[in-house]
């Protein structure tokens, strides 16, 4: 049988990387029957690994520090005769290590699903040769045609709204039979899904975002791939995946990962069980899998100049590998921001996964931040709950009082909803007052705030089997009946919400206190919760007052003199009104006041 070279990954690399080692995955029919040769100054072929499947080789290269950028052939021979050749390119780094800005508490993240945000190029709606060629906007489970160009077309909208960082659900190829739009079942790690665009367009997108003064977060998945991936249909080796005698699903229980009393069986089921049948679980204890994933993520950051990474299903990954991964990524890109998805139920559980917390684990995860689902639940309790010793506003106060668990809580991403959850507006029963209060808390508390697309225009729906939390953004498609990207297409209530969102977000962009200030909170009394954001020695601290009761209150501020003594007046950030004195502040019923002290 004649040999055929299907791919080499990564297909290119760079000189001057921190780590001189590079492992190439070579895939092709019976490729292991060939010998490998290369000759390029500064590049050494250290070892050729043959594995169980003869369609794979793994090549260990070492790239010396003085190596120059250029191209060279990797030659595959048999009995001294050339059979195949691949021209490999080493490029000069594009200064990504310094270009990478990182995402911090100064930012406001906007999460969107590219398939559901805007269709900027109808020519790529259906791509022949892929497994799914249906385009049906009437179904939540088929593709709708949104793409990267659609996002590019609305960058000015996002910038004007006060957004500073954009996080898209995964853009890489998901060539699956059904529900391929969400992006979490990768079938090609090095290729943007052609229904979204191309690698070149993605790189241009990052550049355009940067030109607008915003940042890009890339969503990556360590834990699993899609069944359409070549690594599943032509498995490199048996333990490339976590294999079971019969199909075994994860327990979705994070506790066995951290429980000092946990059984090994429970821990294995959590970590090695498959997420769903269509998403094979990668064995991250396999060193070839480790190299493949780590190099892929480095490749994308260097190629496109990404500013941050969101790590999907973080607790389901092998803990030791993830710690090693974080060190390797940060060695190449010290400014890169990383946060892991940890949808758990306790602050201690969240903190367990964050960097600097080694209690009962014995090693550091080196993970700067997590998605703060516990704070989300506490905000909802403050908005919707009834007062009690540990209920209502006291839940929020008590949750924030546990911030001592984190080495640096400012790296946590705080949010009210995402693509897997009921939307914020529905969770507050479409109560515009509660919506405003929730936004005020989200954009003034510690951490990095993240909002889900459409929050600003009151998009709603619950996370039910119909998937309506992933509806299209109205106006993102030609021929849409309404265009809610413009004020004229929005209802008066939607414009009220939009204007509130925009005003608070844009204020946040200019408030040092909210961007990088410390936080001081006071025990809630008489239904009122008060906290401050401030920078020691700086002007313009922010005072937030949440009256949870259904009547107007007169708040005497003597109790807060630790933070108010140097100030005698304030401005209401949202109404623009000036408070000539702050000894007694009138707080309307069921409302949040955001005051800048003067």
Q: What is the pTM of this model?
A: 0.98
Report the pLDDT value the prediction gives residue 439, as an integer from 0 to 100: 98
Residue 408 Rama label (left phi>0; alpha psi -120 to 50; beta): beta
C-alpha closest to that of 594 among 537, 539, 545: 545
Note the CATH architecture for domain 4-93.
Sandwich (2.60)
Bridge partners (DSSP) listed for residue 494: none
Q: Which residues are catalytic?
A: 312, 341
CB within 8 A of 506, min separation 6: which ones? 162
pLDDT digit string (tens) for the chain, length 598 residues: 467 899 999 999 999 999 999 999 999 999 999 999 999 999 999 999 999 999 999 999 999 999 999 999 999 999 999 999 999 999 999 866 678 999 999 999 999 999 999 999 999 999 999 999 989 999 999 999 999 999 999 999 999 999 999 999 999 999 999 888 999 999 999 999 999 999 999 999 999 999 999 999 999 999 999 999 999 999 999 999 999 999 999 999 999 999 999 999 999 999 999 999 999 999 999 999 999 999 999 999 999 999 999 999 999 999 999 999 999 999 999 999 999 999 999 999 999 999 998 776 888 999 999 999 999 999 999 999 998 999 999 999 999 999 999 999 999 999 999 999 999 999 999 999 999 999 999 999 999 999 999 999 999 999 987 789 999 999 999 999 999 999 999 999 999 999 999 999 999 999 999 999 999 999 999 999 999 999 998 899 999 999 999 999 999 999 999 999 999 999 999 999 999 999 999 999 999 999 999 9
Vertex 29: Cα angle to 25 and 34 (nearest 5): 75
The pair of three-digit structure tokens given for residue 290, joined into one six-digit string: 């480790």
593 Rama class: left (phi>0) / alpha (psi -120 to 50) / beta: beta
CATH 2.60.40.1180 fits 518-597, yes or no: yes
Do the domains 4-93 and 518-597 sit in the same CATH topology, yes or no? Answer: yes
CA distances from 412 to 104, 350, 375, 517 (A): 9, 10, 10, 15
Q: What class has domain 98-223+286-377+412-510?
A: alpha beta
If DSSP states are collapsed to H, E and C, what string results for 71-98? EEEEEEEECCEEEEEEEEEEECCCCHHH
Short-list 245, 252, 257, CA closest to 275: 252
Could you tell me the sign of the dihedral formed by the alpha carbons of 80, 90, 235, 264, in that order? Answer: positive
Structure tokens at 301: 């950051």
Decide: helix, strand or coil at residue 493: helix
Tell me, what's the pLDDT at 250?
98
pLDDT of residue 188: 98
Q: Report the alpha-carbon distance of residue 356 to residue 364 in Å, rounded.
A: 6
Q: What is the pLDDT of residue 270?
A: 98
Residue 313 confidence (pLDDT): 98
- Indicate the pairing of strand 43-50 with strand 56-63: antiparallel
* Domain segments of the chain as ranges: 4-93, 98-223+286-377+412-510, 518-597
Task: State the pLDDT at residue 2.
Answer: 65
Rounded to an integer, what distance in angstroms lies between the CA atom of residue 571 and that of residue 580?
9
What's the confidence (pLDDT) of residue 329? Answer: 98
Query: Rounded to whole angstroms, what are the CA distances from 338 to 96, 360, 374, 425, 518?
Result: 16, 23, 19, 28, 21
247 dihedral zone (left: phi>0; alpha: psi -120 to 50; beta): beta
d(CA 170, CA 186): 8
First vs last Cα of the chain: how many Å apart? 80
Assigned token pair, 84: 């195949």
């Amino acid at each position: 049988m004649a040999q055929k070279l299907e791919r080499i990954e990564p297909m290119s690399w760079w000189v001057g990387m921190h780590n001189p080692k590079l492992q190439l995955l070579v895939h092709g029919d019976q490729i292991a029957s060939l010998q490998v040769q290369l000759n390029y100054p500064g590049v050494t072929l250290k070892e050729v690994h043959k594995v169980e499947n003869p369609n794979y080789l793994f090549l260990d290269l070492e790239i010396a520090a003085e190596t120059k950028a250029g191209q060279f052939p990797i030659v595959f021979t048999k009995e001294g005769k050339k059979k195949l050749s691949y021209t490999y390119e080493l490029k000069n780094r594009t200064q990504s290590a310094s270009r990478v800005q990182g995402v911090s508490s100064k930012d406001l993240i906007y999460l969107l699903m590219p398939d559901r945000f805007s269709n900027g190029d109808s020519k790529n709606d259906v791509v022949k040769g892929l497994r799914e060629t249906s385009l049906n906007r009437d179904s939540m489970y088929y593709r709708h045609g949104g793409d990267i160009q659609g996002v590019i077309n609305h960058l000015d909208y996002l910038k004007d709204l006060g957004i500073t960082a954009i996080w898209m659900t995964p853009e890489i190829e998901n060539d699956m039979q059904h529900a391929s739009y969400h992006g979490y079942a990768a079938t090609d790690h090095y290729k943007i899904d052609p229904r979204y665009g191309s690698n070149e367009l993605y790189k241009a997108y990052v550049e355009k975002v940067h030109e607008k003064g915003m940042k890009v977060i890339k969503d990556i998945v360590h834990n699993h791939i899609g069944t359409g991936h070549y690594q599943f249909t032509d498995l490199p080796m048996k333990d490339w995946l976590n294999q079971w005698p019969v199909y075994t699903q994860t327990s979705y229980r994070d506790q066995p990962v951290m429980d000092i009393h946990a059984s090994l069986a429970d821990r294995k089921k959590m970590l090695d069980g498959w997420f769903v049948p269509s998403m094979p679980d990668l064995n991250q204890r396999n060193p070839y899998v480790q190299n493949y994933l780590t190099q892929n993520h480095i490749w994308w950051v260097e190629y496109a100049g990404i500013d941050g990474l969101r790590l999907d299903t973080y607790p389901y990954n092998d803990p030791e590998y993830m710690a090693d991964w974080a060190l390797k990524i940060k060695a190449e890109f010290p400014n890169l921001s990383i946060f892991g998805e940890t949808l758990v139920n306790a602050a201690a559980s969240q903190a367990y996964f964050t960097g600097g917390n080694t209690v009962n684990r014995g090693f550091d995860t080196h993970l700067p931040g997590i998605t703060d689902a516990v704070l989300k639940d506490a905000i909802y309790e403050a908005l919707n709950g009834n007062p009690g010793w540990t209920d209502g506003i006291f839940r929020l106060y008590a949750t924030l009082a546990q911030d001592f668990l984190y080495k640096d809580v400012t790296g946590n991403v705080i949010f009210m909803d995402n693509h897997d959850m009921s939307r914020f507006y529905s969770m507050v029963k479409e109560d515009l007052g509660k919506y405003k209060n929730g936004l005020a808390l989200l954009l003034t508390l510690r951490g990095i705030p993240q909002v889900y697309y459409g929050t600003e225009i009151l998009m709603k729906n619950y996370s039910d089997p119909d998937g309506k939390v992933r509806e299209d953004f109205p106006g993102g498609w030609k021929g849409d009946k309404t265009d809610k990207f413009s004020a004229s297409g929005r209802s008066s209530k939607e414009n009220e919400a939009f204007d509130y969102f925009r005003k608070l977000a844009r204020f946040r962009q200019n408030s040092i206190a909210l961007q990088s200030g410390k936080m001081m909170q006071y025990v809630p009394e008489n239904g009122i919760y008060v906290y401050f954001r401030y920078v020691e020695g700086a002007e313009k601290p922010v005072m937030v007052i949440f009256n949870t009761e259904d009547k107007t209150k007169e708040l005497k501020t003597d109790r807060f003199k630790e933070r108010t003594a140097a100030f005698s007046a304030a401005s209401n950030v949202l109404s623009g009104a000036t408070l000539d004195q702050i000894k007694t502040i009138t707080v309307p019923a069921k409302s949040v006041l955001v005051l800048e002290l003067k």
